[in-house]
Structure 1
Amino acid sequence: MGIEARPPGRPRDADADTAILDAALELLIERGAAAASIEQVARRAGVTRATVYRRFPDKTQLLIAAVESTYGNPPPTPEIRDLEHLLTGWAAALADPRQRRLLRRLYGAFEDYPEIAAAYEKQLGSPRSDARTAVFEQARDNGELPPNTDPQVLLDILTGAGWQHLITRPDTSTPDDVEQYLRAVLHQAGFTPETRRDRAPRPIKE
């Protein structure tokens, strides 16, 4: 979604575009979706409400654009080499204080603003889930996970553990702290990387 192209005419101020999106994201993180009004965004961005409305018809569309601007334009399918790579990347994301606060705000907004949930799912949802599921399948086939492991169920478990960490652990957690936590969860699911047996991993199925 984001900022749409406009017909020929007076060029739009790119600085105002950036200021509006930055202000919306800051307010979303600081106060939540309910408090991130068009008026508050305009005030913080240093523009008029009309300037905001010319770009976004309502608050929901503005917040969706702000969330999308945070994640940029990620590849449709992320490259995750193996389970170790997944753990490292996930831990790094969950250890970022700003990212943690944003994720908690998004989770709290999904009930009242389902469009924001849909935008988040489009940016970082299904394609990434498919890639992670493929990694779990690879680990199972390599003997790092029990042969009866259901990759989708394991993904749900690890995703839930991630949300649990966001709620119950401090935002000062380091990547090592988070990775240790996620490894402990996987250990309960039977993850034993030492059983890899000095063999080349099987490629992830397309």
Structure 2
Amino acid sequence: MKSDDGALRGRPPGRPRSAEADEAILAAATELLIERGVGQVSVEQVARRAGVTRATVYRRFPNLTALLVGAVEWEYRDADTGGLEWPDVDAMVAHWAALLAHPRDRKLMRRLYAAADDYPELLRAYADAHGRRGVEAVRATLDRAREAGELPPHVDSAVLQQMFAGAALLYVSVHPDDSGEDAIKGHFTDILRQVGYRPAASREGAHDDE
């Protein structure tokens, strides 16, 4: 949900709360999560960073976990999963590279996966924000590439999509945050080549040389 109500869903009806305070609390929680990791964030720190009282935070969130889940939902409120559609695999990879090129987003991704054991709710909120439709869009793009002969007929798009998800996490975990889009695209392209990906342009060029 993109509205403040979506980030704070489940609250009882009553006097409208300050949207400015809502945003300040969620922004503060997100930044502290990125800077310090879940284990080093407290409601007191969030209240101080947001410039509000602890009571103001607790009126919105009953505990730290609920606050951080709300922060993750708020951070990814504009995640475009419903309208994703790429013309081809190269465009899909370029889109991923553009997303993963932001150091802040990469650090937040690492923080969320690092908290998977102690705060699984955060990773679920991250997955829910990106949604099943995002996964389906990837698989549909891979299916079209296979049908066009760009991928071998035996390639399973569901398995390859999972490989890409793991490759994204590996990349943000082991590569410097200042690596750019070209390096990230190369990372995914290497995986595609290993499974036999041959884009239409390269196949047409090979035929022209014959």
The answer to whether the superposition gives a TM-score over 0.5 is yes
Query: Residues 33-182 of structure 1 correspond to what in structure 2 (within 5 A)?
Result: 33-73=38-78, 74-182=80-188
Report sequence identity in percent.
46
CA contact (8 A) 1:143 1:195 kept: no
Distance 1:75 1:152, change over 3 A: closer
Q: Which SS does the other structure have where 1:79 is aligned? A: coil
Mark the runs of 5 or more structure 2 residues left unpaired by the alignment.
1-5, 206-210
Letter matched to residue 102 of structure 1: L
The size of the alignment, in residue pairs, is 197
| Aligned counterparts of 2:131 and 2:13: Cα–Cα separation in 1 | 32
Q: 1:12, CA displacement in angstroms?
A: 2.1
| Aligned counterparts of 1:190 and 1:16: Cα–Cα separation in 2 | 52
User: What value does the CA root-mean-square deviation take over the aligned residues?
Assistant: 1.8
CA contact (8 A) 1:27 1:41 kept: yes
Q: Which SS does the other structure have where 2:186 is aligned? A: helix
| Aligned counterparts of 2:14 and 2:174: Cα–Cα separation in 1 | 51
Mark the runs of 5 or more structure 1 residues left unpaired by the alignment.
199-206
TM-score by length of 2: 0.87
CA contact (8 A) 1:78 1:131 kept: yes
Q: 1:94, CA displacement in angstroms?
A: 1.0
Higher mean C-alpha displacement, 137-146 vs 108-117: 108-117
The superposition leaves residues 42-91 of structure 1 with CA deviations (integer Å, 9 ceiling, x where unpaired) of: 11111111100001111111111111111214343522222111101101
Q: 1:101, CA displacement in angstroms?
A: 0.4
CA contact (8 A) 1:143 1:196 kept: no
| Aligned counterparts of 2:178 and 2:90: Cα–Cα separation in 1 | 23
| Aligned counterparts of 1:58 and 1:196: Cα–Cα separation in 2 | 57
| Aligned counterparts of 1:136 and 1:167: Cα–Cα separation in 2 | 25
| Aligned counterparts of 2:121 and 2:107: Cα–Cα separation in 1 | 19
Letter matched to residue 38 of structure 2: A
* Superposition misfits of 4+ residues, deviation over 4 angstroms: 195-198
Q: Could you tell me which of 10, 14, 17 is aligned with 1:12? A: 17
Q: Could you tell me which of 5, 27, 39 is aligned with 1:22? A: 27
| Aligned counterparts of 1:8 and 1:56: Cα–Cα separation in 2 | 16
CA contact (8 A) 2:81 2:131 kept: no
TM-score by length of 1: 0.89
The superposition leaves residues 145-189 of structure 1 with CA deviations (integer Å, 9 ceiling, x where unpaired) of: 111001011111111111111111110011111111111111111
